[in-house]
Amino acid sequence: MNPRLQSLQAYPFEKLRALLGTSASSLPHIALSIGEPKHPAPKFVADCLTDNLSGLSTYPNTKGIPELRNTIADWLKQRFSLEAVCAETQVLPVNGTREALFAFAQAVITPSTEALVCSPNPFYQIYEGAALLAGATPEFLACSAENGFIPDYDAVAPEVWQRCQLLYLCSPGNPSGAVTDIATLQKLIALADQYDFIIASDECYSELYFDEDQPPPGLLQACAEMGRNDYRRCVVFHSLSKRSNLPGLRSGFVAGDASVLAPFLLYRTYHGCAMPVQHQQASIAAWQDESHVIANRELYRQKFDQVLAELDGCLEVERPDASFYLWAKTPISDTEFARGLFQQENVTVLAGSFLSREVEGINPGANYIRMALVAELDNCLEAARRIKRFTQGL
C-alpha cells in the first residue's frame, strides 16, 4: 500500500458527520454545508446531451474534440479579454476541476523532501491531498480577515519560495469568496519567474459575482496585461459545475502554458480520464451561452440580499466578493456552533476549522462557519431565521 495515503486527513464532511450525530429537532433538515448547486440545470444542455448519445459507442480522446477546445478558447478570450489562446496547445478539457487539480500536482511535482506546494489556508482539501501524494509537503498561507482573506504573500520567506514547486490559488476563494486582484496576481507571476515555480489558479467560482460590470479577474488575464501570451508558468482551472449548475456533468478545462499542458496531457493519457464525447458536445452548448449564467447570478444575488438582511446583527458576516458562500464569524467555537445549530434547528453548516490546518498554533478557520447558499431561496431564508434564533439564544 502506498504509505503516502496514511498522511491524508479525513475529508471535512466526514469530520462534520462525526461531529453532528443526530439532531433532536423535528424541523425539516436544511443543508448549507455542501457547495453543490441546486438551481436547475439548463434544459438545452440536457437536450444536447441526449441528442448525442451516439457518443456512447466511441472511445473519447483525452485531448478532447477540436470543437470543444475551440469553444473554450473563444470563451476565454471573450471573458478575460485575451488576444490569443491556442486551442491546440493551451486548452485541455478535464472531468471537473477537482479531478484536474489533484492530477496536475502528480504531473508537475518532482518528489523530494524539499519540495513544497503552497496553498491558501483555509483551502480546498484537494490541494493538500494532491501535494502529499505527489511527494511534496504542503505549505499553508494563512487567509485572515486583516488581509481580506487573501494570503499575505509579502510575508512569505524567500526560502519557502525557493522550495516551492507549485502554488495553488483560489479566486474567488473557497470559503471566503475573496477575489485576488490583478496587481497581486502579477506580483505572484513575477515571483514564479524569480523562483521557478508553477501557479495553478482554481477559478471555478469566477462566474458567480454580484456586479455585472466587474467580473473577477483571472490569472491568464493578469499574464496578458503583462504581454505574456504564452502564459508561462501559469495555468487556470474552470468548470461548468457552478457556472451552469452542472456538477453531475463533470466538465471543466485547464488552460495556460503549453509547455506545462503537454506533459500533463501525457499523464492524463496514461491515467485514462478522457471526457465522454456526449459530455463534450453538451459542454460546447453550455460554454457558448451566457444568458443562463446571467440568470443564475441573479438568483444568487437575490439570495444574498435577503439572507444577509435576515442575518443582520446576529452574526459577524459580510457579502463576499464573489462565489455562493458566506464566511461568518461565530460567537462560540465553530464546532460548538455547528453542532448546536444542528441539534436545535436541524441546519447543517461547515465548521471553518475543518477547512484549515493549524500552523504555529493558529487555525485561521477557527471560529468561522461556511454557509453555502445553494438551496432554493425559501429554504435559505428559513435557514437564516433558524440561525438567527439559535444565535440569539446563546
Domain boundary among 289, 318, 349: 289
Is the pLDDT score of 313 beyond 90?
no
Q: Are 240 and 309 within one domain? A: no
CA gap 214, 89 in Å, rounded: 29
Residue 53 near residue 278, CB atoms below 8 Å: yes
Q: What is the pLDDT of residues 196-248, one digit of tens each?
A: 999 999 999 999 999 999 999 999 999 999 999 999 999 999 999 999 999 99
Q: Are 237 and 367 within one domain? A: no
Q: What is the pLDDT of residues 265-288, one digit of tens each?
A: 999 999 989 999 999 999 999 999
Residue 346's pLDDT is what?
Answer: 98
Q: Are 31 and 77 within one domain? A: no
Q: Which helix (H) or strand (E) holds 254?
A: strand 252-256
Q: What is the pLDDT of residues 19-71, one digit of tens each?
A: 998 899 999 999 999 999 999 999 999 999 999 999 899 999 999 999 999 99
Domain boundary among 255, 273, 289: 289
Structural domain total, the chain: 2
Backbone angles phi, psi at 197, to 5 degrees: -130, 170
Q: Are 317 and 386 within one domain? A: yes
pLDDT tier at 341, thresholds 50, 70, 90: very high
- Residue 184's contacts (CB-CB under 8 Å, 6 or more residues apart) are 150, 153
Q: Are 85 and 124 within one domain? A: yes
Torsion angle (degrees, nearest 10) of CA 254, 46, 217, 86: 40
Residue 268 near residue 53, CB atoms below 8 Å: no
pLDDT tier at 123, thresholds 50, 70, 90: very high
Q: Are 63 and 33 within one domain? A: no
Q: Are 231 and 304 within one domain? A: no
Domain boundary among 257, 289, 321: 289
Residue 194's pLDDT is what?
Answer: 98
CA gap 94, 88 in Å, rounded: 15
CATH number for the domain that contains residue 99 = 3.40.640.10
pLDDT tier at 108, thresholds 50, 70, 90: very high
Residue 32's pLDDT is what?
Answer: 97
Q: Which helix (H) or strand (E) holds 130?
A: helix 126-133
Domain membership of residue 157 as a residue range: 43-289
CATH number for the domain that contains residue 386 = 3.90.1150.10
Residue 73's pLDDT is what?
Answer: 98
31: left (phi over 0), alpha (psi -120 to 50) or beta: beta
Q: Are 144 and 265 within one domain? A: yes
What's the burial of 202, exposed, middle or buried (CB within 10 Å: 0-12/13-18/19+)? Answer: buried
Q: Are 264 and 236 within one domain? A: yes
Q: Are 264 and 334 within one domain? A: no
* Average pLDDT value over all residues in the chain: 97
Q: Are 200 and 74 within one domain? A: yes
